[in-house]
Amino acid sequence: MEAITTAGTFFDGISARPRPVTLRLTFRLEIAGEDIARDWSLLDLRASETARPLMRVTHAQGPESVEFADDPFAEALKARCPDLNRTESEGGLTRLVLWSVAAGVSVLLTAIYGVPAASGLIAPLVPQAIEAQLGRSVDGQIVSLLDDPPLCNEAAARAVLDRLTARLAEGMALPETPQVSVRRHKIANALALPGGRVILLSDIIAKARNGDELAGILAHEFGHVAARDPMRSVITAGGTSFLLSLVLGDLTGSTVLVTVGQAAISAGYSRDAERAADAFAVAAVKRAGGDGAALAAILERITDADDEKPDAISFLRSHPFTAERAARIRSLAGEKPAGSGILSDAEWQSLQGICPKPVKPEGTKPDNGKTTTTPTKKL
């Protein structure tokens, strides 16, 4: 590229003192003078308002500028510098928008991929005492979300449940025996919480046909406890909500938006975590003398058929399809063992009564079967 030179005046943008310099234009603008040496990219040059033949050129990244009165040099500069006459407000706004979009995308990608990956490393490091305290808090929040269902603690049934819990936990890689509670609710579900806590909703007991089926559900949740999936889930949810708050510009909440964003990103444990918990359950039930395949039977019974239809976004589901899970569980379980199962008929009948029907005062209307929806995960 042909070099063009001319004489000019340099201003440092701090003082008003003009300083004579020589300007040399190639694919860059070189400025040389006494104690002055600048090498400016043509992309950073902006023209200021002046009267011809004087031309003033500033640097977009600082206060420095040069002036010269040379029409051929000015025409050559315009030809080689397409952004010379662009106003900085336009460039600044475009740059701001691009940086804002890039920052938002990076935060969302961190929320989707980075936070879950980090939670897997952090969860095993959380002290047991802190996790237990967190578990109590989460337990209270879940109970509140369920509209404070009553605790089911019929003495004889509670004794059977405690024996079943201890029997399943025997030989497991658990820090301590899980704390299982039962709440009266018309949704068939079970939840594992931090600190080894497990909540059974009473309808899951009502829908189970024998002790092995309920044992499979319990052992599945114990599998999550052993892998510390609940702790990992809490860390992921907390970190994701914080990052989404940054994107939304509200570090204090925006509860609804953050909740919706979190629900869109993560709806329960990963498929791998669910498969691992299923395998854990089959092994635990078989070790306790029960039928490991019973878990498949109850899963098939309580799953809503409409929720199993494949669709275009089926890969986003957090749980494997029930048919897939059931087939894998039966493959792992093998032959049904001889015997009556983990619980005797008498023990199973007793356990089914852990939530006695409430006695209603005379004159009250019968229960219309109305249920509440909850944000709990699918088994």
List, for residues 151-173, the tens digit of each pLDDT value.
Answer: 999 999 999 999 999 999 887 77
As a whole number of angstroms, the distance between CA 201 and CA 27 comes to: 74
Domain membership flag for residue 43: yes
User: Residue 31: enclosing H or E segment and its boundaries?
Assistant: strand 28-33
Do 67 and 136 lie in one domain? The reply is no
Q: Are the beta carbons of 9 and 66 closer than 8 angstroms?
A: yes
Rounded Cα distance between 179 and 200, Å, is 11
pLDDT-derived band at 11 (thresholds 50, 70, 90) equals: very high
Number of domains in the chain: 2
* Over residues 119-131, mean pLDDT: 67
15 and 130 assigned to the same domain: no
**Edge-to-edge strands, sheet with 55-59:** 36-41, 28-33, 19-25, 4-11, 65-68, 55-59, 45-48
Q: Is residue 360 part of a domain?
A: no
Query: 25 near 75, Cβ under 8 Å?
Result: no
pLDDT band for 356, please (50, 70, 90 cuts): confident
Please check whether residues 166 and 78 belong to one and the same domain: no
pLDDT digits (tens, 9 = 90+) for 302-328: 875 444 444 433 333 444 577 888 999
Residues 72 and 106 in one domain: no
- CATH number of domain containing 37: 2.30.29.30
**Whether residues 33 and 107 fall in one domain:** no
Strands 36-41 and 45-48, sheet pairing: unpaired
Quick one: how many helices (H) and strands (E) in the chain? 13, 10
Amino acid letter for position 163: R
Lowest mean pLDDT among 64-73, 132-141, 262-271, 335-344: 262-271
Domain assignment present for 272: yes
Q: Is there a single domain that holds both residue 79 and residue 139?
A: no
Kindly state whether residue 232 falls inside one of the protein's structural domains: yes
Q: Which residue has the tokens 């009564």?
A: 353
Per DSSP, 219 falls in state: H
* Average pLDDT estimate for 7-27: 92
Task: Please give the residue that has the higher pLDDT: either 301 or 241.
Answer: 301
- Please say whether the beta carbons of 281 and 219 come within 8 A: yes
**Coil vs helix vs strand at 173:** coil
* Interval 25-35 mean pLDDT: 93
Q: Is 82 in the same domain as 106?
A: no
Q: Has residue 161 been placed in a domain?
A: yes
Range of the domain at 137: 102-351
Q: Is residue 136 assigned to a domain?
A: yes
Q: Which residue has the higher pLDDT, 124 or 71?
A: 71
* Residues 44 and 75 occupy one common structural domain: yes
Report which listed range, 192-196, 228-232, 244-248, 357-361, is most confident: 192-196
Same domain, 66 and 119: no
